[in-house]
Structure 1
Amino acid sequence: MTRARRWFAGSLAAAALLLAGLVLLIHSNLPSDEELAADLGARFESASGIALRVGAAHWALMPSPVVVLEDLSTAQPRPITVRRIVVRPHLSALWTRKIAIDAIEIDGAVLPRTSVRAFRGRWQADDAAIVVAGAWTLAAIPVERVRLRDVVWIDRRDIALAYDADILFDPHWRPREAQLSRSGVTPPANLRVEREGEQDRWRTLIDVGGGTWNGNAALQELDKGRLRLTAQLEPKDVDVGALVRSFGRHSAVEGKLQGQTAVDTEGENVTEMIRTLHTRTRFNIAPANLTGFDLAKMVSTGSGRGGQTRLDTLAGTLDTQATEEGVILRYSGMKARSGALIASGSATVINRRLDGEAAVDIVDGVVGVPLKLGGTLDAPQVSLTGAALTGAAVGTAVLPGVGTAIGARIGQELDKLLGNEEAKKKPR
């Protein structure tokens, strides 16, 4: 079995091992439910080095083969738990010593990130999924369908997100159709992929934030069994706030996004490809509302924390890169406009911490007021840079009248640009 064919084998190896234990016992002595539970726990620990408790197990051959496992948990400080697993093997395949599963159904799983990472490098996918008593082989389609219901992923920030999924497989672990959705989210957040013929290309349909993010994806086999996944997607009318809230986060930007997204990643299997996922999105949001800071207040007082800023347009490029320390977000070529106000800048976000710089062109030759971006995405902070504050102090000391006049003019114009109707009525 090549590394390319193990694209999904690593993810499904545990379920295949459970089935392998059952079919081996069937051929030997028709085990009781208690013997099956004990045997599967022992085989899991032997393959992974981490103990598994199986609360209850049941199997039957008639009217159709089925294995039901309940209340599973790993022996870890923060255990992986599964309420119920149902495996439905093909009966005819059992008698010919082939692993062929009609469906694997997993319901009510909780997957803490740190506990899942503990399995890295431990699991031997080939041994678990293929080599059973030395004589078992994989069918052309080892697993035809995988259904996931209420599977909860707990990330590094302890945010728990529940997902449902349904995947139909072609040979070589290629998904023919697949759907992934966030449970209980309004508006819906769904991903659907549909294979185009026999090629490694998929039509990709995403509904999120009340809009769409559709396009196409392709898989390429590289040297030494590595895989490369690329995709071209087009977001349309995606409500940024609703999108971010769908995944348990808070957005500092409100508005509907349009643009183009490119996805690129490489790896020997799905897990490695997720760990190195890279995206690049050129976006435009019009109009946009920035929550968490008030630009007019920032210019007049030196600190703009709190409040909001309304913009006619916000455009730029967002690069995301998955790393061992979390996803890095890099914003570049940022342009914001509100009437005569023009702002540009760049920023980097790591673990929700914001670090960046911007320049604001305001009015009548007062150009490039430098700003420092900081704080977090939940509570962004915008302030004048130290150099700007020093320059303002020197200017006021040398030419106090001019400095005061420029400061007043900036504050007045910003109030007008950002919607203060009372300021519009004041004489210049």
Structure 2
Amino acid sequence: MAKFLKWAAIAAGVFLLVLVAVAVALQSWLRTDDFRTRVEREAGNALGVPMKLGKLSIDLWPLPAVAADDVQLQTRPALTLGRIEARPVWAGLLAGRLEISTLIVRKAVLPQAAIAALTAGMQKRSAGKKPTPKSDAPLLLPKRALFDDITWIDEKGQRLTADAEAKLGGDGLLDEASFKIVAGRFAGTQGKVHRESDHWPVRVDIGGGRIAGKVQLQPGKAGAQVLSGQLTTENVEVSALTAPSKPLTGKLQASTTLRSEFREAGDVVDQLATQTRFSVRDALVQGIDLKKAVETVGLNRGGSTRLDTLAGNVNTQGKTVHVTNLVATSGTLAATGNVTILPSKALNGRVNVDVSTNRGALGVPLVVGGTLDDPSVTLTRGAMVGAAVGTLLAPGAGTAAGASTGDRIGNSLKGLFGR
């Protein structure tokens, strides 16, 4: 027995020495300019944009891995990754299969414009190729992915830095994932999801409250997949969802259903549709003073409106948002209406404001315009005509009365003045 252990130890030592020798030889080879240039060229051709590598290496500690440092995709602006590290499944390699056990990405900077340019370049490159039969080979995905210090830069230059981790099951579907935003927009937000038998419970802590619920993934028609879910929002500060802009503050309560039918994973967001019923406590609208908008004829900008109640429905399709059945009250003011938020964040809608006065209730129609960050309201064309008529027929009666008169006149003059 002692002799066997002695020879086993010698064999293990020899194997370790051979492994170290191979790693050193590969390390020297990977770091040559010729090999690095070849990798840059092949990767650049595949991605459609030039690539630069700082160095390639094989690490033995803490686990064997292949790594690339200082990776730069020369899009405009550039997309950079401080380090990419892939740890293979060694048993799979011995059996002739390439499997990635763990993928680690550190200190990446991902501008949205760079991602768009990279995607457009790859699509253009694919369009110029002859179609090939679809491969039955499975997509090579890591069983575990770790993202450390990843910075996303949106189209306005606003930064968001996050840490995240995800694990996949044997079927390629998500087993569990978590993230935390450590700096920039939505700093402090964190969330997690894990897999149950037929759904994934989700929880996101944001703005002093939480968004929780579950999502499901089921087969759809003609090979499509259907993502669906139900979420509940409780006591979330609204401005935390729109940071850094704060067009509205208050505590949000909402119930949401979502659905996306897609064939490619990249189409999930574009095909996503949601329906939400919401209410906001202690709501404060920034950028619009409804009382002044009623009292003055014409454009009103600036100010704020404290609302006693705010509720309505929000329906989304892709990046377009429709706010319907909007109901808001503020003292002697009560407003109802519908507003659409376009992908450009432009506002388009109409709000009817009822004002209680000593002379009774008056209705004032307002057109909502501007942008989400700089909203504006104006009287409808019919109301403007009525305000002028009301001033001529009853000077001093007030613009609200004129606006109400104008709305009645405007209804009969739609063919002339439009909406």
TM-score (structure 1 length as normaliser): 0.77
Quote the Cα distance in structure 1 between the aligned partners of 2:214 and 2:252. 19
Quote the Cα distance in structure 2 between the aligned partners of 1:30 and 1:354. 59
Q: Which one of the candidate residues 213, 216, 224 is aligned to 1:215?
A: 213
Asked if residue 358 in structure 1 is aligned to residue 355 in structure 2, the reply is no
Q: Which one of the candidate residues 222, 233, 240 is aligned to 2:231?
A: 233
| Partner in structure 1 of residue 277 of structure 2 | 282
Q: Is the 8 A contact 2:227 2:259 kept in 1?
A: yes
| Partner in structure 2 of residue 192 of structure 1 | 192
Quote the Cα distance in structure 2 between the aligned partners of 1:339 and 1:403. 19
Q: Is the 8 A contact 1:99 1:142 kept in 2?
A: no
Quote the Cα distance in structure 2 between the aligned partners of 1:405 and 1:69. 68
Asked if residue 307 in structure 1 is aligned to residue 303 in structure 2, the reply is yes
| Partner in structure 2 of residue 71 of structure 1 | 70
The sequence identity of aligned pairs, in percent, is: 33
Quote the Cα distance in structure 2 between the aligned partners of 1:370 and 1:228. 41
| Partner in structure 2 of residue 348 of structure 1 | 340
Q: How far is the alpha carbon of 1:30 from its aligned partner? A: 4.1
Quote the Cα distance in structure 1 between the aligned partners of 2:399 and 2:167. 69
Q: Is the 8 A contact 2:57 2:66 kept in 1?
A: yes
Asked if residue 33 in structure 1 is aligned to residue 35 in structure 2, the reply is no
Quote the Cα distance in structure 2 between the aligned partners of 1:52 and 1:299. 58
- Show the 5 A alignment for 1:12-411: 30=26, 32-35=29-32, 37-60=36-59, 64-117=63-116, 118-119=118-119, 120-121=122-123, 142-184=141-183, 188-197=188-197, 199=198, 201-245=199-243, 249-302=244-297, 303-322=299-318, 327-350=319-342, 351-363=344-356, 364-400=359-395, 402-403=397-398
| Partner in structure 2 of residue 131 of structure 1 | none
Quote the Cα distance in structure 2 between the aligned partners of 1:156 and 1:206. 24
TM-score (structure 2 length as normaliser): 0.78
Q: How far is the alpha carbon of 1:39 from its aligned partner? A: 4.0
**In structure 1, the residue corresponding to 2:269 is in which secondary structure?**
helix
Q: How far is the alpha carbon of 1:57 from its aligned partner? A: 1.0
Deviations 1:117-173 (A, max 9, x none): 33343688xxxxxxxxx9xx869x952210112222233333332232110110232
Distance change >3 Å, CA 181–CA 275, structure 1 → 2? farther
Deviations 1:24-62 (A, max 9, x none): xx99x9461225533432332343333321111111457
**In structure 2, the residue corresponding to 1:98 is in which secondary structure?**
coil
Distance change >3 Å, CA 53–CA 338, structure 1 → 2? same
Over aligned residue pairs, what C-alpha RMSD do you find? 2.8
Q: Compare 310-319 and 375-384 and name the one that shifted more.
A: 375-384
Q: Is the 8 A contact 1:228 1:264 kept in 2?
A: yes
Deviations 1:297-342 (A, max 9, x none): 22222343111111111111122232xxxx2221111000124421
Distance change >3 Å, CA 256–CA 309, structure 1 → 2? same
Return 5+ residue gaps in structure 2 as ranges: 1-21, 127-134, 403-419
Q: Is the 8 A contact 1:229 1:265 kept in 2?
A: yes
Q: Is the 8 A contact 2:387 2:399 kept in 1?
A: no
What one-letter code is carried by the residue in structure 2 that aligns with 1:251? K
What one-letter code is carried by the residue in structure 2 that aligns with 1:188? G
| Partner in structure 1 of residue 414 of structure 2 | none
**In structure 2, the residue corresponding to 1:395 is in which secondary structure?**
helix
What one-letter code is carried by the residue in structure 1 that aligns with 2:261? E
What one-letter code is carried by the residue in structure 1 that aligns with 2:30? D
Deviations 1:214-267 (A, max 9, x none): 00000112244322111100000000012221xxx3131110000111121122
Quote the Cα distance in structure 2 between the aligned partners of 1:196 and 1:344. 42
